[in-house]
Structure 1
Amino acid sequence: MSEGFNTRAIHAGQTPDPTTGAVIPPLYQSTTYAQDGIGGLRNGYEYGRGTNPTRDALQDQLAALEGGAHAYSFSSGLAAEDALIRALLAPGDHIVLGNDAYGGTYRLINKVLSAWGITNAAVDMSDVGALTRAIAAGNTKMVWLETPSNPMMKISDIAAVAQAAHDAGAWLVVDNTFASPYLQQPLALGADIVVHSTTKYIGGHSDAVGGAVILNDDAAAEKIGFIQFAVGAVSAPMEAWLTTRGLKTLGVRMDRHSSNAMAVAKWLRDQPAVENVLYPGLEDHPGHDLAKAQMKDFGGMVSVSFKGGEAAARKVAESTRVFTLAESLGGVESLMNYPSEMTHASVKGTELAVPENLLRLSVGIEDLEDLIADLQQALDQL
């Protein structure tokens, strides 16, 4: 019998400790492991950069939840992305990514990896025709997709994008951070590789930075594993343990994030100061039907633009009390972000620039009435 998501989240990689029977496996902080003679490794453990039981448990958990055969845990989401690209691409290769991709991803590809010889094109990934033309224009070896996208909340057809990528002989990588494996399964929809900033919904408590790569291809996995070991940007044992703990409650948290976000989005839509609300759960969102088809629910991220322009957005961002003005997303607490000057400052002046009247809300799991009251008092400041 196939186990359900929440059962796998709680039990995958979590065999009770064989020595004591502890239900929660211990945290292994050791950097090195005793050998039974030269080369006599115990269960493959030698040195902490290469292997660690706590990190291994997290990797088993991630693979089980994304439906992948292999998972690798890194020190951050960007470390995971960098390792993935260096493992599978070579100087001269071309990447197509969304024209509203996360600013850090674009900076990595356009600024850091460009010096290594990687080129890129940014297109509207919800337009498969535009994607196909961009692929044809370059030596494209990888297509990089966010859906929902950050922060414009665009929805792209994963299966259609996968077909376009595969027709060109390119890998399809899906950044599944916004949706989480609970709400969306990119590998089952045709993606080759899934990446996460586990700092966000997977960890869920804003206390552990990390990243992950999950895939099925054995040869590609071997290359990524080599880079993980050789370069060494691995998740530390404590961060891996905290991420595992957070991941066990992902399903119940995402249910609450989604229901709160839907209510907040509907409330914001009715406010006179609001120009537009971007949330795929709203029926007037251009990607609503597609999101409904390929996601279990619509998630906890809401973006909102204001009629009063930049000044209004800044005023609201600096007036909330329950929503904390901060970077990041996906924790149990609600966060407010001004992308133009915060998470997406690195893309100002490019085609990926975020509108200056837009705020991104990471809607937490607090009482809904308190979230609405907080937004109301902030809007009253306008």
Structure 2
Amino acid sequence: MNNSPYKGFGTRAIHAGLEPDPGTGAVMTPIYQTSTYAQEAPGKHKGYEYSRTHNPTRKALEANLAAIEGGKYGLAFASGLAAIDTLLKTLNPGDEVISTNDLYGGTYRLFVRVYEKFGLRFHFVPMQQLATIEEKITEKTRLIWVETPTNPMLNVIDIEAVAQLAKSKGILLAVDNTFASPYLQQPLKLGADIVMHSATKYIGGHSDLVMGALVVNDDALAEQLYFLQNAAGAVPGPMDCFLALRGIKTLHVRMQRHCENAEKVARFLRSHPKVEKVYWPGFPDHPGHEIAKKQMRAFGGMISFTIKGDNIEEAFRAVSSFKVFTLAESLGGVESLAGHPATMTHASIPREERLKAGLSDSLIRLSVGLEDADDLINDLKQVLQ
């Protein structure tokens, strides 16, 4: 990638790691819908033996993922959680992980309900201040897990500062970059060791696939992860890889529109008399605004807000009344989605833990899509009335 002629993000998204099909000249990477490959003699083949191990469509996607994240090695998985699961398999019983306290409920569930019984220990802390991370570091700490912006409170964590702390202690830093996408933020360039994506979201961008990704620079870590990818086998199929490649080609232009629409929606919500609080890092008084300006290209397409009165019944009524926004899990598609994290994406986190992180029962999360902003604002007007 370092010798690539593709310097701009959009050019890399469209071209990096991709070549016309050598057999036909097809410009788009074909869907190699095959499980196995013919061999001339035992062990003598064209680089492909079995599609759990390698598949040409997945190989193209993994090269493209590495390029858009500014990394050397990309790995694709059957889901974002499969990617996290594979990373956790590099740890040993007794190892400790320090994690963002405000994070996706599925990640919390995997950490606590799956891996704690295998001897891993997890500490969940607010990471806006380095001191809260440093006080949890012990000789057993092996990994720091960061989400930024966080899901769903839109807190912003200083990746470069956490990376410096992690490196000084010999600890790996992994960043869930799902909310930002590689277009808005590139954690490897800020010192992170591992980037994770739920590629289901902005990378795919069309709500038509489920996929995860890891991107790294270190050769030994990459070799370990490739081994686990093959050994554990949670790989995506070639059709999903094709869809992800198609989505990446428009990632940069989609993210620009997501960000433009989100800013208009956030400013409307903040001006509405029935809205209590709006969480969006683009506001100058957001606690993480200056860090977001430093490490992100723009402020993203995600917004959370609460209605005055902090009433869960009112939140239920609101999310059930949308006409343009769709009440649904997930985020990052071309269509606008609304969700109620306490009962949907974050239901697996105990209520007392959610409340500690600021996630109230009345919080509504919006994934602002690519529709006309006026239609989105009018939809919010009728809901709030």
Other structure's SS at 1:328 match: coil
Greater CA drift, 332-341 or 348-357: 348-357
Residue pair 2:75, 2:215 contacting (<8 A) in 1 also? yes
The normalised TM-score by structure 2 is 0.96
Q: Which runs of 5+ in 1 are unaligned?
A: none
Residue pair 1:77, 1:196 contacting (<8 A) in 2 also? yes
Q: Specify the code of the residue in structure 1 equivalent to 2:81.
A: L
Tell me the residue number matched to 2:266. 265
Q: Specify the code of the residue in structure 2 equivalent to 1:127.
A: Q
> Which of 29, 49, 54 pairs up with 2:57?
54
Q: CA deviation at 1:166?
A: 1.8
Tell me the residue number matched to 1:250. 251
Q: Distance in 2 between matches of 1:166 and 1:26?
A: 41
Tell me the residue number matched to 1:297. 298
Q: CA deviation at 1:141?
A: 0.4
Q: Distance in 2 between matches of 1:170 and 1:218?
A: 17
Q: 1:31 to 1:364 in 2, by over 3 A?
A: same
Tell me the residue number matched to 2:109. 107
Q: Distance in 2 between matches of 1:187 and 1:346?
A: 30
Q: Specify the code of the residue in structure 2 equivalent to 1:60.
A: A
Q: Specify the code of the residue in structure 2 equivalent to 1:333.
A: E
Residue pair 1:14, 1:57 contacting (<8 A) in 2 also? yes
Q: Distance in 2 between matches of 1:252 and 1:97?
A: 32
Matches within 5 A, 1:1-382: 3-42=7-46, 44-87=47-90, 89-136=91-138, 139-309=140-310, 310-353=312-355, 354-380=359-385
Aligned-residue identity in percent: 55
Segments ≥4 residues shifted beyond 6 Å: none
Q: Distance in 1 between matches of 2:162 and 2:60?
A: 32
Residue pair 1:104, 1:344 contacting (<8 A) in 2 also? yes
Give me the CA root mean square deviation: 1.0
Cα-to-partner distance string for 1:100-143 (whole Å, 9 max, x where unaligned)? 1111111101110111111010000111111111124x621000
Residue pair 2:6, 2:15 contacting (<8 A) in 1 also? no
Cα-to-partner distance string for 1:202-249 (whole Å, 9 max, x where unaligned)? 000000100000000110111110110001000111111101100110
Residue pair 1:58, 1:244 contacting (<8 A) in 2 also? yes
Other structure's SS at 1:182 match: helix
Other structure's SS at 1:259 match: helix
Other structure's SS at 1:148 match: coil
Q: CA deviation at 1:18?
A: 1.4
The normalised TM-score by structure 1 is 0.97
Cα-to-partner distance string for 1:162-193 (whole Å, 9 max, x where unaligned)? 11222222100000000000000100001000
Q: CA deviation at 1:313?
A: 1.5
Residue pair 1:338, 1:360 contacting (<8 A) in 2 also? yes
Q: Specify the code of the residue in structure 2 equivalent to 1:39.
A: G
Q: Distance in 1 between matches of 2:105 and 2:21?
A: 42
Greater CA drift, 351-360 or 211-220: 351-360
Residue pair 2:258, 2:300 contacting (<8 A) in 1 also? yes
Q: Distance in 2 between matches of 1:164 and 1:106?
A: 23
Residue pair 1:340, 1:348 contacting (<8 A) in 2 also? no
Q: Distance in 2 between matches of 1:245 and 1:324?
A: 24
Residue pair 1:101, 1:352 contacting (<8 A) in 2 also? no
Residue pair 1:84, 1:224 contacting (<8 A) in 2 also? yes
Q: CA deviation at 1:350?
A: 4.0
Other structure's SS at 2:351 match: coil
Other structure's SS at 1:257 match: helix
Other structure's SS at 2:222 match: helix
Q: CA deviation at 1:349?
A: 2.6
Other structure's SS at 2:13 match: helix
Other structure's SS at 2:338 match: strand
Aligned residue pairs, count: 377
Q: Distance in 1 between matches of 2:124 and 2:325?
A: 32
Q: Specify the code of the residue in structure 2 equivalent to 1:376.
A: K
Q: CA deviation at 1:306?
A: 1.4
Q: CA deviation at 1:2?
A: 5.1
Q: Distance in 2 between matches of 1:149 and 1:346?
A: 16
Q: CA deviation at 1:17?
A: 1.1
Q: Distance in 2 between matches of 1:188 and 1:199?
A: 23
Q: 1:350 to 1:217 in 2, by over 3 A?
A: farther
Other structure's SS at 1:81 match: helix
Q: Distance in 1 between matches of 2:216 and 2:18?
A: 21
Q: Distance in 1 between matches of 2:189 and 2:156?
A: 17
